[in-house]
């Protein structure tokens, strides 16, 4: 941490600051600048210290962090572990290894809607060799008047899919949400408990990426099982905040976290792009973190006709997996149908993406 | 809702769409454009229908919403109610009326830290006639290694403040968070239950504005008490999403919601501005919504030296209240000390802001 | 400047870097961090040196600027000058002093359209005591098919206004633009030459704030006359880039620059706000710079019904002046009519804004 | 165009609006909404009409554009031309066809610095089969104190490169800029004139994308030669504004425009990403426009270590070419050295990118 004193800081203020530095057990070194302004370098492990701890002292102009605020998810951490493949800590789901040489595709509908829909999609997803099926039983919706998901009934359908087709299941948990069923009654357990008991991979949605209490609880509740977590980036979160959210889960006991990019909100007109696909962030996360990186081409583009381009670009940029929405009948999907690809397009994406993976992985 | 068909839409696709429109009980009217492209106007109350419901149909190019997606929080709703003052539905907290002629100031520390700190601040806050004290017992922190708040012990201090000084209390609830005490044990109840039993006004923080399950639960749990809710805007939420979040609470049973602006995240360099104060949004919310609007000059600027300018600007722009951070000893605050104002500056802001309120309110 | 070496930097790389530091005449001091990483403080006047000058060296991880990249426009510069009023370097236009105690209002139409329109507006603007009239003869338009302004004929109308009503004139110059008249011919001189010969204040529009060649030329061409320049912030420019743009003009010879804020582009849905009014930036510019700050409530809000609130907020926040669009017949304006206020609303804004100025200026 | 009347619009206001519609020769159709609000569909070719033309009328609530505001650059335009390859209007530079099956790589230094540097880079660039060399003789710099480029001397070096190595040249023009030489004198011609006389492709930089006068002048001056233009997207420009900027050049006489993406500015912390690579925009531009799309992986990432990932991603997403910065000695580059790749890395990118191009092009 570098502390830049204000032009008019008094020696008393600087002394008070230095005491604060020492009180936390850090060493320091002072640079007496030619303009009469002192700059103080604070030395030691500052990962648990926020800039504001020093910035709020009188006489301080600016505090600049140099070390990373996260530890366990950083690229430097755990370097000699046997779980690392080319610097990435792989996550295993059944026989599937996520983060290694093979590209992992997860596909399925945005929302679970009916037994017929779920089984029909599961059949073709499994048929083309996709190992993991996605599907939301609980849907966080911007409007209180929109369809909120099938709830527990949906989770039961996913359990059937697992049994019949051997697919592993990724589905979203949301915080505190006791699901209101169509008959107006609340489900007995909260959403998180229900999802934990059914899912092979627990998805944390973009809207909950900053619900720190939820992340902490999730880490604690999966400390034993170590069920893999697919953490989506908030649509306006910096990469630093994204990595700190992952750190929340890991620090509370579950190291099996995957980072999922899904598009960010920018100044771009949403009549052109629903979100801005954050494909450039893949390389940054690979440099900064040891976690596998998954890309969601469906939410990040918002349009079926652009899912393939975004998928191939993400894999070329180094993504370890893709989370793709598909629907047996996109025009009748109850949620986000405009971004679902058909069976044929999914198969085409899978084939091309795998070729690109092998082209770029060994270079 | 206006539906614009694609250039190459077939008559079959258009018919399928029109059936979907009729299936939901809406009427429609078709404009046959001179370029051969049809535009369909869907008529009726569309507040519960998302654009994507139509956009996902084959042959549709674009869907444009014209009506508002929220109802109960909109300016047009409840117009003849006796609770309205100049179009704003006032919220009462003890004898304080928020949203009427008088400006309401809420002040206090960011985090509760100790009995001494809390009482010392409460004394001067009450002494200058501020009716409501703020203070966080549970702190959502970006880093898992940062101070997470005093928890239940903090709420008990706030209860003492209420008793000794007659101050009303606003404090934040976070979702699912079972607070981990300094001794490493979890508190028995979740944060929401604890906060509901102590607070006069329940604050929903910016990070939870999109935790829809949490908003729903909050509405349900306060349906009887109708405890006022101070809902903060997410730092990257559009105003539409902000109003829909308020609608979530109101639609689930509690109409006493106040909208609190606290700065947004933009491209601006955070070495210049921590957030961009969203002062322009005050006028928009006043035109769109019937809820009182509160402004937080502390988080929106991030620097003590700019709190006064932002406070006065917000009141000049029509804000009904200010939520200001103050500390008896800013340099030793455990959280956000750099944005806390002192007693003297708070008194000065209060005096000037009240003058501006009376200047602009009756014009 | 603080230089943070990479974890794997070699001594040779560090030596090469230090030679580069010395080659520019700077001193340095090295902090040997406890993690084995060196941090180098570079000392001296670094205002003409970009971070990348050091960042591009091998072995460097990060370079952090501490000193300001601008000099002459900074708050610290020119402190003992007689032209300063409360730290602001005032700009004089005829008898009007901009940046001092009095609030300065500049008002007029977005585009000049006809003699009748210009004279009609000038009459009521002058009548209510506004000293400066705005009006665009050259209009930078997003579409090549939109009305591009009256050109030289418009400037001549402004000259008449000056003569008849004693109003000073602010009008925009654009780069390289040889105006195409309605008859399809190009004007003989370029826009900048024409504007320089007519204007009392030369406006640089938001779209040209980063046209550095244009800013340099403007500084050179007005080095003698020192005609005041009203520099608008680009709608996506950081404040640092805004101040550097001002520095371009000042460094090339013309110190009479005023900073004009006009709203920024954010993630906000333009169906709610055309731009986000950057009212919070006023306090920042007042702390960082010695130049007067003008606020444009018309472009920053985009809607007539919000111009008053934004005007009053800007003045409460410390703006030295307002640049307001007004039209004798808003519904028939050829450009931006939806944000023009009427005569009556302008008078009301002026009266209230002046009261707020006197309330906040002396505190 | 869809016009939505205000709730309290009077019949007189609506009639006045309809007259305005008819005055421009458009037809209309009225939808009488169930809520008593009229919605008016305006029919005809509205590409030259801005929304504000109707929005500024009294009684209008909102105006929504459905047709595109640009014509000649749109995907639908010029469909039967012989210059189209798979819907893209190819641009020819010597024997190189940009926008067809072959991927086009343009590479070179950010700034021209010396004869030795230029020749050394040209030699290896030509040697690996790159057909076009980039290099800036005029550099738009954020700070007036930074190196502004070699000017005319740089252009002369580029002419030598063309002669010796058979490379075609792409270099940037900036508006109005009369270059100031190191001896303090201004060059005789303006930058645009100089660049036009030397370049094979004229680059318009991101900072000038909205300098509409400059774009118009450029179109007029190259109307005869039809010298190809490489138009860079402004770092905060919407895609709509980007396409309208291209339309400015085409509408003024030069159809040979290429769209170049170079990263956008978002909320992302620049300590992680200098810009956000806008790779997702490639697919959008391919769907909306008929112009070739080039991607700049150097400016969009800002770091050498991420240039390869961004390059491959862009090609996988459908880019027709790459504009890459390379330097014989990155650590001594005078500008943006941290994003320059070496000879070896450039060769590796070229090989992999060409494989991906052939993989995705025919699918």
> What ipTM describes this predicted complex?
0.90
Q: Which of D44, A363, A338 is nearest to B17 (CA)?
A: A338
Token pair of C234 as six digits:
């680009």
- Bridge partners, residue B134, by sequence: B170
For chain C, how many residues are written? 363
Instruction: Give the residue from B330, B334, B352, B333 showing the smallest Cα distance to B343.
Output: B330
Distance from CA of C151 to the nearest CA of B (A): 33
- At C201-220, the pLDDT tens digits run 999 999 999 999 899 999 99
Whether residue B222 contacts residue B196, with contact meaning beta carbons closer than 8 Å, is answered with yes
pLDDT score for C253: 92
Q: Does D239 touch chain A (CB under 8 A)?
A: yes
User: pLDDT digit of tens for each residue in chain B (363 aa)?
Assistant: 888 888 788 888 899 889 888 888 888 888 777 667 788 888 877 776 777 778 878 888 888 777 788 888 988 776 556 788 888 999 999 999 999 999 999 999 999 999 999 999 999 999 999 999 999 999 888 888 887 899 999 999 999 999 999 999 999 998 777 887 777 788 888 899 999 999 999 999 999 999 998 999 999 999 999 999 999 999 999 999 999 999 999 999 999 999 999 999 999 887 788 899 999 999 999 999 999 999 999 999 999 999 999 999 999 999 999 999 999 887 666 666 688 999 999 999 999 999 999 999 976
Rounded to 5 degrees, φ, ψ at D188 are -70, -50
What are residue C60's DSSP bridge partners?
C5
Answer whether A2 sits within 8 Å of C64, measured CB to CB. Answer: yes
Euclidean distance between CA atoms B275 and D168, whole angstroms: 46
Cβ of residue C27 closer than 8 Å to a chain A Cβ = yes
d(CA A274, CA D141): 33
Strand partners, C111: C136
- Check: CB of residue A289 under 8 Å from CB of residue A264: no
Quick check: helix, strand or coil at residue C81? coil
**What is the distance in angstroms between the Cα of A359 and the nearest Cα belonging to chain C?**
29
Contact B266, C273 (CB under 8 A): no
Average pLDDT, stretch D70-96? 85
Tell me phi and psi for residue C61, to 5 degrees: -95, -45
- Residue B142 has a pLDDT of 85
Q: B233: which residues sit within 8 A by CB, 6+ positions away?
A: B206, B209, B239, B242, B259, B260, B261, B262, B264, B278, B281
- So what's the pLDDT on residue D171? 98
Residue that the structure tokens 């060769």 belong to: D347
Parallel, antiparallel or unpaired: strands D84-85 and A257-261: unpaired
C354 in Cβ contact with C103 (< 8 Å): yes
Q: How far is CA B322 from the centre of its chain?
A: 13
Nearest chain A residue to C76 by CA: give it: A7
Q: Which of B149, D22, D85, B91 is nearest to D14 (CA)?
A: D22
**pTM to 2 decimals?**
0.91
What is the predicted pLDDT for the residue at A80?
Answer: 56
| Mean pLDDT value of segment D234-247 | 94
Residues in chain B closer than 8 A to D33 (CB atoms): 41, 43
The pairing of beta strand C168-173 with beta strand C132-134: parallel
Indicate the length of chain D as a whole number: 363
**Per-residue confidence (pLDDT) for residue B346, from 0 to 100:** 97
Q: Which helix (H) or strand (E) holds B107?
A: strand B104-108
What pLDDT is stored for residue A64 in this prediction? 79
Alpha-carbon distance of B83 to B90, in angstroms, equals 6
Which tokens in the block code for residue B322?
Answer: 């200010």
Q: Is the pLDDT of residue C333 over 70?
A: no
Q: Which residues of chain A have pLDDT under 70?
A: 34-35, 48, 78-81, 331-337, 363
Q: How many CB pairs under 8 A join A and B?
A: 165
Touching D (3+ Cβ pairs <8 A), the chains are A, B, C
Q: Residue D23 contacts by C-beta under 8 Å, 6 or more apart in sequence?
A: none
User: What does DSSP say about strands B321-325 and B293-295: parallel, antiparallel, or unpaired?
Assistant: parallel
Could you tell me the pLDDT band of residue C70, with boundaries at 50, 70 and 90? Answer: confident
Q: What is the pLDDT of residue B332?
A: 67
Q: Residue D79: pLDDT above 60?
A: no
Helical H runs in B228-342? 239-251, 280-288, 297-301, 307-316
Q: Do the chains contact at A284 and D306, CB–CB below 8 Å? A: yes
Handedness of CA B188, B192, B194, B196 (dihedral sign): negative
Q: Other C-beta atoms within 10 Å of B223: how many?
A: 11
**Beta B257-261 vs B229-232: how paired, if at all?**
parallel
The CA distance from B276 to B265, in Å, is 6
Helical spans, DSSP H, in chain A: 11-23, 52-55, 115-127, 152-165, 191-198, 212-221, 239-251, 281-288, 297-301, 307-316, 343-361
The average confidence (pLDDT) of chain D is: 90
SS3 C246: helix
User: Which of D31, D45, D265 has the CB atom closest to B41's CB atom?
Assistant: D31
pLDDT at C331: 67
A325 CB within 8 Å of a chain D CB: no
Closest chain C C-alpha to D49 CA, distance in angstroms: 7
Q: What is the pLDDT of residue D95?
A: 94
What does the alpha-carbon distance between residue A256 and residue B141 come to, in Å, rounded to a whole number?
A: 22
The DSSP output letter for D108 is E
pLDDT, residue D243, reads 96
User: By C-alpha distance, which of C4, C305, C362, C292 is closest to C132?
Assistant: C292
Q: Could you give the domains of chain B?
A: 2-65 (3.30.70.1140), 88-361 (3.20.20.70)
Does the distance separating the beta carbons of B273 and C281 come in below 8 Å? yes
C295 with C309: CB under 8 angstroms? no
**CB-based contact B84:B77 (threshold 8 Å):** no
- Contact with chain C for residue B344, Cβ under 8 A: no
Q: Decide: D133 and D120 in contact? Cβ < 8 Å.
A: no
DSSP per-residue codes, A4-28: EE-TT--HHHHHHHHHHHHHTT-EE
**Mean pLDDT, rounded, for C176-180:** 79
Torsion of CA C140, C141, C145, C151, to 10 degrees: -30
Q: Rounded distance, CA A346 to CA A130, Å?
A: 10
The whole-number pLDDT of residue A256 equals 96
C-alpha pair distances (Å), C296 with each of A110, C98, C127, C187, C292: 45, 15, 21, 30, 13
Q: How many CB atoms lie within 10 A of CB C169?
A: 25
Q: Which residues pair with A63 in a beta bridge?
A: A3
Residue A332 is predicted with a pLDDT of 67
Backbone angle region of C66, left / alpha / beta, with phi > 0 → left and psi within -120 to 50 → alpha = alpha
The helix (run of H) or strand (run of E) holding residue C17 is helix C11-23
| A205 Cα to chain C: minimum distance (Å) | 20
Residue C120 burial (CB < 10 Å; 0-12/13-18/19+)?
middle
- CA distances to B160, B205, B324, C109, D110 from B202, in Å: 17, 10, 16, 47, 55
Instruction: Please state the rounded mean pLDDT for residues C152-162.
Output: 96
Give the pLDDT of residue A293: 98
**C-contacting chains (≥3 CB pairs under 8 Å):** A, B, D
**Could you say which DSSP state residue C181 is in?**
P
Of B50, B143, B214, the CB nearest to A69: B143
CA B242 to chain centre: 7
Cα gap A214→A176, rounded to integer Å: 8
Chains touching A, CB cut-off 8 Å, 3+ pairs: B, C, D
Contact residues, chain A, for C39 at CB < 8 Å: 2, 41, 66
Contact between A58 and B331 using a beta-carbon 8 Å cutoff: yes
For residue D42, the model assigns a pLDDT of 86
Average pLDDT of span D9-30? 87
Tokens of residue C74, six digits:
């900074």
Kindly determine whether residue B267 and residue D269, on different chains, have CB atoms separated by under 8 Å: no
- 8 A C-beta contact, residue D204 and residue D192: no
Which residues make Cβ contacts (< 8 Å) with residue B36, sequence separation at least 6?
A: B7
Q: What is the pLDDT at residue A77?
A: 79
* Alpha-carbon distance values, D85 to A305, D100, D101, D247 (Å): 20, 6, 8, 20
CA distance A306 to chain D (A): 6
Phi, psi of A277 (to 5 degrees): -60, 125
- Distance in Å, alpha carbon of D287 to nearest chain B alpha carbon: 13
pLDDT digits (tens, 9 = 90+) for C212-271: 989 999 999 999 999 999 999 999 999 999 999 999 999 999 999 999 999 999 998 877
**In this model, does residue D309 exceed pLDDT 90?**
yes
């Amino acid at each position: 941490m570098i502390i830049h004193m204000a032009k008019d800081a008094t020696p008393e203020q600087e002394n008070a600051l230095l005491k604060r530095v020492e009180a936390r057990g850090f060493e320091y070194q002072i640079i007496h600048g030619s303009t009469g302004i002192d700059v103080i370098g604070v030395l030691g492990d500052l990962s648990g210290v926020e800039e504001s701890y020093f910035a709020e002292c009188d006489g301080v102009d600016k505090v600049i962090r140099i070390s990373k605020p996260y530890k366990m998810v950083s690229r430097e951490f755990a370097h000699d572990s046997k779980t690392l493949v080319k610097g990435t800590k792989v996550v295993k789901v059944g026989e599937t290894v996520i983060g290694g040489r093979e590209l992992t595709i997860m596909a399925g509908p945005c929302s679970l809607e009916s037994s017929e829909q779920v089984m029909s999609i599961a059949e073709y997803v499994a048929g083309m060799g996709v190992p993991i099926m996605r599907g939301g039983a609980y849907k966080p919706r911007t409007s209180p008047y929109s369809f909120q998901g099938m709830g527990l009934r949906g989770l039961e359908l996913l359990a059937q899919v697992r049994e019949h087709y051997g697919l592993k299941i990724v589905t979203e948990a949301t915080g505190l949400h006791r699901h209101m069923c169509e008959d107006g009654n609340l489900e007995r357990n909260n959403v998180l408990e229900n999802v934990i008991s059914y899912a092979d991979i627990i998805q944390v949605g973009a809207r909950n990426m900053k619900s720190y209490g939820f992340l902490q609880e999730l880490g604690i509740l999966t400390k034993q099982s170590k069920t893999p977590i697919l953490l989506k980036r908030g649509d306006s979160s910096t990469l630093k905040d994204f990595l700190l959210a992952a750190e929340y889960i890991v620090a509370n006991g579950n190291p099996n976290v995957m980072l999922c990019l899904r598009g960010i909100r920018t100044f771009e007109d949403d009549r052109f792009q629903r979100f801005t696909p954050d494909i450039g962030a893949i390389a940054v996360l690979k440099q900064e973190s040891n976690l596998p990186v998954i890309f969601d081409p469906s939410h990040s583009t918002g349009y079926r006709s652009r899912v393939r381009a975004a998928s191939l670009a993400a894999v070329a940029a180094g993504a370890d997996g893709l989370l793709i929405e598909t629907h047996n009948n996109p025009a009748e999907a109850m949620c986000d149908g405009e971004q679902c690809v058909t069976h044929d397009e999914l198969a085409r994406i899978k084939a091309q993406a795998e070729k690109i993976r092998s082209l770029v992985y060994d270079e």
